[in-house]
Amino acid sequence: MEIISPNNARVKEWAQLLEKKHRTRQHKYIVEGIHLVQEALRSDAAVESVAYDLDKGIPAELNGLDQADQPVEWIPVSAAVIAKCTDTKTPQSVFAIVRKEERSAFAALLEQPNALVMVLDGVQDPGNVGTIIRSADAAGAAGVILGHGCADLYNPKTIRSTMGSLFHLPVIEGSLEELLPQAQSKGARLISTSLDASLSCYAVDLRGSTWLVIGNEGQGISDATARSVNESVFIPMQGQAESLNAAMASTVLLFEAMRQRSHS
């Protein structure tokens, strides 16, 4: 059943998902564009429906990607509907509605031996949050924790910045004051960056159970989180830049941990 009018009741409900309060209320979010919809369908994401431009048809990349265990509704829509439901200035010809899933991923993360986990404390820029998730995926991290005060995981900008990595590893939102002590009780070491640290990130052992903590772009990690940290490190720099942004610093640490683990 095709949908032409942007004033259709379902379209209005979809468009609401561009706002966090409605994503929270509906327990759903939107992913835009061929690549992200493809990644959502390939993974175990709970894709409810895929809306595609009726003039262009279903993108070839999405053919045959129906999920066996949960049928996906494929809905041809007008370009006006796509424009209303997407966040980009020049929207692509497809978007999907995905249900948020309550996973018991944190418990599984705690039991994983020698897990490399990225922890974000108040990282507010959606682009940084998405890029860090992408870097964590690339470096083989076991998961990402988003503390309170971080950009919303389901913000369209965050999702775009993950480039699909959101669907490749567990990303858990929660209170660091509750989650970090649980990790430490299971033997995890918490390592953060600090300009005042005396230990280089290249001189610390990142091979065991390691939770890397990155703080807010301006203020760094909170006092409460700082009290939990086992070790602070600095990233050596030879040029004149004073510091790296949160995503770049995270990527340096993640890839140093990957290097140590793959060459040990």
pLDDT per position in the chain (264 positions), as tens?
Answer: 899 999 999 999 999 999 999 999 999 999 999 999 999 999 878 999 999 999 999 999 998 887 666 789 999 999 999 999 998 888 889 999 999 986 678 888 999 999 999 999 999 999 999 999 999 999 999 999 999 999 999 999 999 999 999 999 999 999 999 999 999 999 999 999 988 889 999 999 999 999 999 998 788 899 999 999 999 999 999 999 888 899 999 999 999 999 999 975
Give CATH 3.30.1330.30 domain extents, the chain. Answer: 9-99
Positions of CATH 3.40.1280.10 in the chain? 105-263
pLDDT computed for residue 178 by the predictor: 93
Amino acid at 141: A
With a CB cutoff of 8 Å and minimum separation 6, the contacts of 22 are 16
**50 close to 77: Cβ distance less than 8 angstroms:** no
The CA–CA distances, whole Å, from 107 to 101, 103, 172, 208 equal 15, 9, 11, 18
Say what the pLDDT of residue 103 is: 66
Sequence letter at residue 223: D
Listed in sequence order, the DSSP H helices in 27-140 are: 34-42, 79-85, 105-111, 126-138
3-state secondary structure of 193: strand
CATH of the domain spanning 9-99: 3.30.1330.30
Q: What pLDDT does 44 receive?
A: 78
Give residue 11's pLDDT. Answer: 97
**Which CATH number is 105-263 given?**
3.40.1280.10
What sign has the CA pseudo-torsion 128, 129, 130, 136? positive
Residue 195: the pLDDT is: 82
